[in-house]
Structure 1
Amino acid sequence: MAEILVEPIEGYALSKNKKKGTTLFSKIGVVGCGKEGQSIARIASWHGLEVVFLELSDSKIEMALANIGKELDNRIENWGLTPAEKKAIMSRIKGTVDYKDLADCDFVIEAIRSDDMTGARSIDARKEVFRKIESIVREDTIIATNSTTIIITELASEMKKPERCISLHFFVTSPEARIIEVVKGLYTSEEAYSKVCTFVKLINRDVIPVEESAGLISVRLFVTLLNEACQVLMEGIASLNDIDKTMNVGLGMRFGPFRTADIIGLSKIMKWMDNLYEEFGNSKYKPSPLIKRLVRAKHLGVRTGEGFYKYDENGKVISE
């Protein structure tokens, strides 16, 4: 009989605690549990990791857990997830309002919402989050941002151990997309980068290595597409529905540019564009007047019930 080779799972651990003699790639922290944070928490827990997320209040914690539960209910109805599996996933997710509860995490991801931030580029708010995380966690804990337009080198520049800081991007519009953009900053060590790539593989995603640049790949390409779609609409070349349908059916996008923008949130997209314009000075990144008009009217997309389209309470497009 052939010998059965057993490869120890410890080799895939993010880090090891020599005092305990156990692998520690078992718990991650998420700071901010809005739409992005909820997606990160759900995906990590789905793949067996313990998750603790930090929010500003108990009411926000309850809302985040309720939203994650609703998303899993959708998986039960349409994806074959069982109620028992949902219960197991939810049992691995805990909310807190205290940074101290992040102390034993191996990996902490900052994912604060744009609505919670101040300043044109939100860099100061994120730096403060990074400093608070660093004051609590172990020296080998990796600290990441899920921001796409903030440069990780700038964000980590005032940290005591900037070599453990990195940037990665989960795709909110398609949370089951099997890719994550990963950015190594000027200070990021090869060890930290390698561990984050291991994390990405453990949650069944492929690493898209990206050189440090505001907007990464996804945001830079999407905002220019959206601006051009707005221009086509304003010129009367085609209707909003037909522009989306052309990109959806004709070019294989999961959603057209307008529907995608509503899912992401127009205020967030406008912040992306402002950041990119400040970074590169290229007018192609300046928000279209149509986007500005919708944001001023508080028509921000699915979250507010109206953006380019109108939506019901379940986030479904209301046909005119």
Structure 2
Amino acid sequence: MSELIIDSIEKYGLHITTQRKNKPLFSKIGVVGAGKEGRNIINLTASAGMDVVFMEESNERIEYVMGQLSKNMDTRIENWGLTQSEKRAILNRITPTLHYDDFKGCDLVIECTRYSETGRRSIPLRKNIFKKLEEVLEPDAIIATNGFTVIISELAAELIHKERCVSLYFPVSHPDARILEIVTGMYTSEEVCKKMEIFAKLIGYIPHRVNENNGNVSLRLMVPMLNEACEILLERVSSMKSIEETFTIIYGQRYGIFRLSDIIGIERLVVLMETMFNDYGDKKYKPNPILWKLYRSHQLGVRTRKGFYIYDEMERPIAENILF
């Protein structure tokens, strides 16, 4: 018996025009780069019922990313947060690729290139990604970057449709930190802002509009607290344990300030703080010597299994790090 061939009708006649016109907003999302933050976005959007295409640099990286996504969903299943059938449905909505052409038809593509070991991300590389995305996307598709240090106006400046560009910041500290900072640049249109507010609600986040700046709101609030906590520790006013308990118990935080820093990454924070210090000229943003000590010794937090704390293979803190 010959194999039944099923061919899509989307490419014939006027069907594709009608379908594009009537399809739901954010039915197809793209993600460029699937490091920790990229995987978080892939999981969030696929879990919300969106089709997701993500691009990586090699088949080996794609295999790794799919394995990590599956592993994270297995953890949710073990904790009764997901079923096996839901996992299969989510994974079926995720498509890996090595080519920009596969982003055609996306309503939104988010650039999530990974940070280098020094905590930086290449501006020329990211500008090139934006240009390549503009070549394959429809003029009304949104191009976004994920981050808290890059000024979106710089990435958008050389594009034809600058108004479509926006920056997003998804806090990764814990699952309940469900605020999406929508950072608008000089060119970002009001229509794009409103669409991103809809997107935030579709994935269960609260949208916060932010005018472009280094640090956004969330990290500009955190950085002075982190510097002060480091100074208290450096002066031997109190122990790390007591500082953490003060932060969590008195102020009702999920994690202590040092634990939170390890989760975000010491390298990212040090680079951000140096940038903020240069931009704003206020010493409250200048990294404390303890942060520099950790940064220079490559003790960067959860990712390297050693920062303010020492971590096991499951990324659980098992002891305080001896800092001095």
- TM exceeding 0.5: yes
Give the distance between the partners of 1:291 and 1:54, measured in 2 at CA: 33
Equivalence for 2:285? 285
**Does the CA contact (< 8 Å) of 1:117 and 1:125 recur in 2?**
no
Structure 1 residues 299 and 116, CA gap change in structure 2 (3 angstroms): closer
Q: Which has the larger radius of gyration?
A: 2
Structure 1 residues 121 and 318, CA gap change in structure 2 (3 angstroms): closer
2:177 corresponds to which letter in structure 1?
A
Structure 2 SS opposite 1:253: coil
Equivalence for 1:6? none
Unaligned runs of 5+ in 2: 1-15
Structure 1 stretches of 4+ with a deviation exceeding 3 A read: none
Aligned length: 303
Equivalence for 2:67? 66
Equivalence map 1:1-320=2 (5 Å): 18-20=17-19, 21-24=21-24, 25-115=26-116, 122-319=122-319
Give the distance between the partners of 1:189 and 1:281, measured in 2 at CA: 30
* Alpha-carbon distance, 1:191 to partner: 1.3
Give the distance between the partners of 1:176 and 1:18, measured in 2 at CA: 39
**Does the CA contact (< 8 Å) of 1:39 and 1:175 recur in 2?**
no
Structure 1 residues 179 and 31, CA gap change in structure 2 (3 angstroms): same
Give the distance between the partners of 1:279 and 1:59, measured in 2 at CA: 39
* Alpha-carbon distance, 1:300 to partner: 1.0
Normalised by the size of structure 1, how large is the TM-score? 0.89
Structure 1 residues 159 and 47, CA gap change in structure 2 (3 angstroms): same
* Alpha-carbon distance, 1:123 to partner: 2.6
Structure 1 residues 300 and 68, CA gap change in structure 2 (3 angstroms): same
* Alpha-carbon distance, 1:195 to partner: 1.1
* Alpha-carbon distance, 1:278 to partner: 2.5
**Does the CA contact (< 8 Å) of 2:117 and 2:267 recur in 1?**
no
Give the distance between the partners of 1:163 and 1:117, measured in 2 at CA: 31
Which string of whole-angstrom CA distances, capped at 9 and with x for unpartnered residues, describes residues 152-208 of structure 1?
122211111100001111111124422211122211111111111111111121111
Give the distance between the partners of 1:309 and 1:203, measured in 2 at CA: 32
* Alpha-carbon distance, 1:19 to partner: 4.2
Give the distance between the partners of 1:139 and 1:308, measured in 2 at CA: 46
* Alpha-carbon distance, 1:121 to partner: 6.8
* Alpha-carbon distance, 1:151 to partner: 1.4
User: What's the RMSD between the two structures over aligned residues?
Assistant: 1.8
Which string of whole-angstrom CA distances, capped at 9 and with x for unpartnered residues, describes residues 134-167 of structure 1?
1221111100111111111222111111000011
2:128 corresponds to which letter in structure 1?
E
Structure 1 residues 125 and 219, CA gap change in structure 2 (3 angstroms): farther
Give the distance between the partners of 1:150 and 1:117, measured in 2 at CA: 15
Structure 1 residues 230 and 67, CA gap change in structure 2 (3 angstroms): same
* Alpha-carbon distance, 1:122 to partner: 3.5
Structure 1 SS opposite 2:208: strand
Structure 2 SS opposite 1:318: strand
Which string of whole-angstrom CA distances, capped at 9 and with x for unpartnered residues, describes residues 280-315 of structure 1?
222221211111111111111111111110001111
* Alpha-carbon distance, 1:44 to partner: 0.3
**Does the CA contact (< 8 Å) of 2:114 and 2:121 recur in 1?**
no
Structure 1 residues 192 and 229, CA gap change in structure 2 (3 angstroms): same
Give the distance between the partners of 2:186 and 2:208, measured in 1 at CA: 18
Give the distance between the partners of 1:254 and 1:297, measured in 2 at CA: 28
* Alpha-carbon distance, 1:211 to partner: 2.1
Give the distance between the partners of 2:160 and 2:90, measured in 1 at CA: 35
Unaligned runs of 5+ in 1: 1-16
Equivalence for 2:11? none
**Does the CA contact (< 8 Å) of 1:311 and 1:318 recur in 2?**
yes
Give the distance between the partners of 2:38 and 2:302, measured in 1 at CA: 17
Normalised by the size of structure 2, how large is the TM-score? 0.88
* Alpha-carbon distance, 1:116 to partner: 7.8
Give the distance between the partners of 1:112 and 1:180, measured in 2 at CA: 19
Structure 1 residues 175 and 98, CA gap change in structure 2 (3 angstroms): farther
Equivalence for 1:8? none
**Does the CA contact (< 8 Å) of 1:310 and 1:317 recur in 2?**
yes
Identity of aligned residues (%): 46
Structure 1 residues 116 and 228, CA gap change in structure 2 (3 angstroms): closer
Give the distance between the partners of 1:201 and 1:18, measured in 2 at CA: 27
